[in-house]
Amino acid sequence: MNMVLEKSCGAIVYTIENGEIKYLLVEEKSGFHSFPKGHTENEESEEETALREIREETDLEVELITDFRVSDQYAPAEKPGVTKQVVYFIAKYSGQKPCVVRPNEIKALKSLRLEDALKILEHENEREILKQADDHIKNI
């Protein structure tokens, strides 16, 4: 059986509010929380995909920080024979308000402190990636 690789790209999106880092999480219609991300289209680069998906999901124009790149791979139970690869960068925005562009897919956007974001992320691998991103941002 051929394994199908589905590739998505996105970013850990953050802003600084009153000297505090706030991370933007997407609450999907399913109730799960994740980072803004989506499938690569045509000949897009990973960076182009991440920027487009962030814009399509949050209406933000962000600055992509590409010296942070983490790839997460898993096999979703609901899609036998499919391996999903998600590449995450870090993206920064300031002076803009995120808003839900696709209400049919996304329930809400939440801007949260690290501790709160870690509490609501359901997947251990996403919590790990967020911690790595947080370390990276604090050292920029």
CATH at residue 29: 3.90.79.10
Q: How many domains does the chain have?
A: 1
Side chain identity, residue 60: L
Token pair for 108 = 């809400």
Residues spanned by the domain of 21: 4-138
pLDDT digits 0-9 by tens, 3-59: 799 999 999 999 999 999 999 999 999 999 999 999 999 999 999 999 999 999 999
C-alpha distances (whole Å) from 107 to each of 27, 110, 129 are 5, 10, 23
pLDDT at 2 over 80: no
Confidence of residue 85 (pLDDT cuts 50, 70, 90): very high
% pLDDT > 90, the chain: 93
pLDDT at 136 over 90: yes
SS3 113: coil
Single pTM value for the model:
0.94
pLDDT at 1 over 60: no
